[in-house]
Structure 1
Amino acid sequence: MRSNRFQNKVATSNFTLPVAAFLTTLLWCAEGIYTLDRLLGWGVCGLTAYFWVETNNAHSLIRIRSRLTPSIYLWMTGCIFCLHPLQDGLIVSCLVLASYYLLFKSYQQTEAVSPIFHSFLCLGIGSLFFPQLLFFAPFYLWYTAVYLRSLTWRTFWAAMTGLILPYWFMAGYFLYTEDFGRFTGHFRELILFQPIYYENYRNFDFLQISTIGLVIAFTIIAALHGIRTSFNDKIRTRMFLYLILTQELLIVLLMALQPVHFQVLLGLLVMNSAPILSHYFALTSKRFTDAVFILFLFMFAALSFLNIWTQWLTF
C-alpha cells in the first residue's frame, strides 16, 4: 500500500488527534463555549473521543496504528453545531460507545458474564435519557449470539439484570418520592409512535438535511468498501465492524421512521459512523479515496461555516 497520499499521512500521524481536538475546540468557541451547557457538551464530546481511543487500543478496529476514529468523531461533532450543547444525544452516544467497548470484550468467551452485564448496564443507563434505546436491546442479544458467540443462559440473565438494574433504582426513587407516575410515563414513551406523514419531514431545515445527508453519504461509501474488502481483516475485527454497521442501519431506520427523535439519533449516528469512515480512510490509498477524504474535510468545514453564518445572521 502506498502511504504518501494525504489521507494516509493524516491517518498515521501522531499530530492528527491533537489537531482535531484543537480545531473542534475552536469550532466550539465560535459558537460560545463559555456557556455552561456548551462547556459540558464539549467535555462529553472529549470523553467520547477518549473512549474511541481506548476501544481502538483494546480491540484493534483498524489494522494499522491510527488515531483517525476519535479524530473523525471530533471533527464531525465540532462541525455540527446542533450537537454542541449538552444534550441527550451526546450523553447517550457516550454510553452506547461504552457498551460497545464492554460488549467487544465478550468475543468468543464462554464465561462473559461481567462484560455483558456491564455492557447492558450502560445501555440501560442510556435508556433513562432516551427510552427508545431499549429497542436496541434485542439486537444486542443477537450480536452476542451471532457476531460475538458469547450468548449462554448465564450471559443472557446477566444482560437482563444489567438492563433492568437502572430501572430498579429509578422505581425505588419514585416510590420514595410518591411520584410513580413519572416512572410509568417513561415507558409510555416507547409506545408513542409518531404516524408517518410527509408533514413530519417538512419541519427539517436546510442545515439539518445537509448534515444528515453528508453523514449518511460518506458513511455509505465507506461501508460499501468495508463490506467488499472485509476479507482483509481478522475474523474478530470483521465481526466488530459488522456489529457497528448493523447498528448504523438500525439508527438510520429509526431516524427515518421517527424523525421526532432526530437530535438524539444524529448524535448516535455521528458516533457510530466514525469507525466506519476511519477504517475506510486509513486502509485505502488511491486517488479516488484521497479525493473523497479531502472532500469529506471540505464539506464538513463548509457545514461549520454555514452554521456560523446562520448564527451571525440571527444576531
Structure 2
Amino acid sequence: MQQKRIQNRIAESRWTQAYVVSAAILVWVIAGFHNLAIIVPGICLLLSTYLMMELNNANALIRIYSRIVSCSYVIFATMAALIFPTIQSAIIMLGFIGFYTFAFRCYQDSHTPGYTFYAFFCISMASIVWVQAFYFLPALWIIIRTNILSMSPRNFIASLLGLILPYWFYAGYLIVKGDITTLFNHFTNIAVFTEPFGLKILNTNQIITLSFVLTCALIGIIHFINKKRNDNIRTRLFYQAFITINLIAIIFLFLQPQHYEALLSVLIVTTAPLIAHFIALTRTKVTNWMFLILTYTAIIITLFNLWIFLHKYL
C-alpha cells in the first residue's frame, strides 16, 4: 500500500474546503474594506464555487473523495480577483462553469435539449460582458459532438436558442432605453484586434499570476496524459474537453493579450480540475514536494496581489 503524503491527506480531508474557503473569505473581506466593488464578484465566486463542487460530484472528476477541485478554483479565482476587482471576470467564470455543469449532464444523450439550452445560455451570458466568448463556440459544439456525445439537430437548435435568449432581453432593454447602438457596437468589438504577442502591456503581478496558472495547467495536462488510462472513458472525455478549451485560451491569450482578464478567467475554470487531478491522484515524494511548492507559491502570490490591491486603493 502506498504511503499517504501531505498532499494526499490535504486532498482527501473533509476539512480542506472549509479552511480554503475561510481563508479566501478573509482575503475578500480585507479587500472589500478598501474597495466595495469587489463584493459583487465575491458573491459570484460563492455561486461558482458551489457549481464547481456540483460539477465534481456529479461527474466524479476525481475518482476518490476529494474537494480539491473546488479548492483549487477558489485559490485561482481569489488570486485573479485581486488583479481585476470587476464583475466581468466573475460572470465569465460563472458562465463557463455553468456550461460544463449543464453540458456534462447530456453525456451520451442526444435528447437533452433542456440542458443543452442552459449550457449555451451560460456562454451567451458570458458573451454579454465579453463578446469574444463567441470565438469558443466552434470548439464547444465540437466538444458536444466528440466528447459529450450528445449532438443532434434538436440539441443544436436548443444551443442556438440558448445563445439568442440573453440577447433578446438585452436588446429589449436597450430599445426601451433608446440606446440600441450599444448592441451594434458590442458585436463590432468582436472584430477588433491588436498586435499579437504584445505581453508588454501586462504588469508584474499579472505576469506572475498568469505564469502560475499556466504552470499548473502544464503540470495537470502532462499528468493527465500520462495517467489517463486509470480513469474511465467518460472522465477521460471530460478532461480532454478541459484540455482543449485550456489550450485554445492559452493560444488566444498570446495572440490577443488585451483580453488578459477574460482569458485568465477561462483558464482558471479549466485549470482547476487539471491540477486537482494531479494533486489528488499522485503519491510520490517528488509530487509531494511539487504540491508544497505550488501551495506556498499560491499563498505568496495571493499576498503579493493583496498588497498591490491595498496599495492601489489606500
User: Normalized against structure 1, the TM-score is what?
Assistant: 0.94
Aligned counterpart, 1:193: 193
Equivalent residues of 1:109, 1:149 under 8 A apart: yes
Aligned equivalents of 1:78 and 1:153: distance in 2? Answer: 40
Aligned counterpart, 1:236: 234
Aligned counterpart, 1:277: 275
Shift of 1:25: 1.6
Equivalent residues of 2:12, 2:66 under 8 A apart: yes
Equivalent residues of 1:42, 1:84 under 8 A apart: no
Equivalent residues of 2:73, 2:272 under 8 A apart: yes
Do the aligned partners of residues 211 and 47 (structure 1) sit closer, same or farther apart at CA in structure 2, a change above 3 Å counting? Answer: same
1:76-102 C-alpha deviation (Å, 9 max, x unpaired): 223345356242011110111011110
Aligned counterpart, 1:245: 243
Q: Residue 260 of structure 2 is aligned with which of 253, 259, 262?
A: 262
**1:184-223 matched pairs, under 5 angstroms:** 184-196=184-196, 200-223=198-221
Aligned counterpart, 2:72: 72
1:186-219 C-alpha deviation (Å, 9 max, x unpaired): 10011111132x6x32121211111111110121
1:16-49 C-alpha deviation (Å, 9 max, x unpaired): 0000011112222343346432222222112111
Aligned counterpart, 1:146: 146
Aligned equivalents of 1:285 and 1:247: distance in 2? Answer: 28
Do the aligned partners of residues 115 and 212 (structure 1) sit closer, same or farther apart at CA in structure 2, a change above 3 Å counting? Answer: same
Q: Residue 302 of structure 2 is aligned with which of 282, 301, 304?
A: 304
Same amino acid, percent of matched pairs: 28
Q: Residue 288 of structure 2 is aligned with which of 287, 290, 309?
A: 290
Aligned counterpart, 2:104: 104
Bigger shift: 84-93 or 50-59? 84-93
Aligned equivalents of 2:3 and 2:39: distance in 1? Answer: 37
Counterpart AA for 1:254: F
Aligned equivalents of 1:286 and 1:69: distance in 2? Answer: 20
Equivalent residues of 2:73, 2:268 under 8 A apart: yes
Aligned equivalents of 1:228 and 1:117: distance in 2? Answer: 34
CA RMSD, 1 decimal: 1.8
Matched, 1:39 2:43: no
Aligned equivalents of 1:147 and 1:291: distance in 2? Answer: 33
Equivalent residues of 2:117, 2:161 under 8 A apart: yes
- Unaligned runs of 5+ residues in structure 1 are none
- Unaligned runs of 5+ residues in structure 2 are none
Aligned equivalents of 1:239 and 1:33: distance in 2? Answer: 43
Aligned equivalents of 2:183 and 2:310: distance in 1? Answer: 41
Shift of 1:118: 1.0
Do the aligned partners of residues 29 and 230 (structure 1) sit closer, same or farther apart at CA in structure 2, a change above 3 Å counting? Answer: same
Do the aligned partners of residues 169 and 299 (structure 1) sit closer, same or farther apart at CA in structure 2, a change above 3 Å counting? Answer: same
**Total equivalences in the alignment:** 313
| SS of alignment partner, residue 106 of structure 2 | coil
Counterpart AA for 1:101: T
User: Normalized against structure 2, the TM-score is what?
Assistant: 0.94
Equivalent residues of 2:31, 2:310 under 8 A apart: no
Counterpart AA for 1:76: F
Aligned equivalents of 1:282 and 1:75: distance in 2? Answer: 16
1:255-302 C-alpha deviation (Å, 9 max, x unpaired): 111111111221221222111010111011001111111011111111
Q: Which runs of 4+ in 1 moved over 4 A?
A: 311-315
Do the aligned partners of residues 14 and 34 (structure 1) sit closer, same or farther apart at CA in structure 2, a change above 3 Å counting? Answer: farther
Do the aligned partners of residues 111 and 290 (structure 1) sit closer, same or farther apart at CA in structure 2, a change above 3 Å counting? Answer: same
Aligned equivalents of 2:3 and 2:99: distance in 1? Answer: 34
Equivalent residues of 1:79, 1:301 under 8 A apart: no
Bigger shift: 286-295 or 201-210? 201-210
1:295-314 C-alpha deviation (Å, 9 max, x unpaired): 11111111123224445656
Equivalent residues of 2:82, 2:309 under 8 A apart: no
Shift of 1:173: 2.6
Counterpart AA for 2:110: T
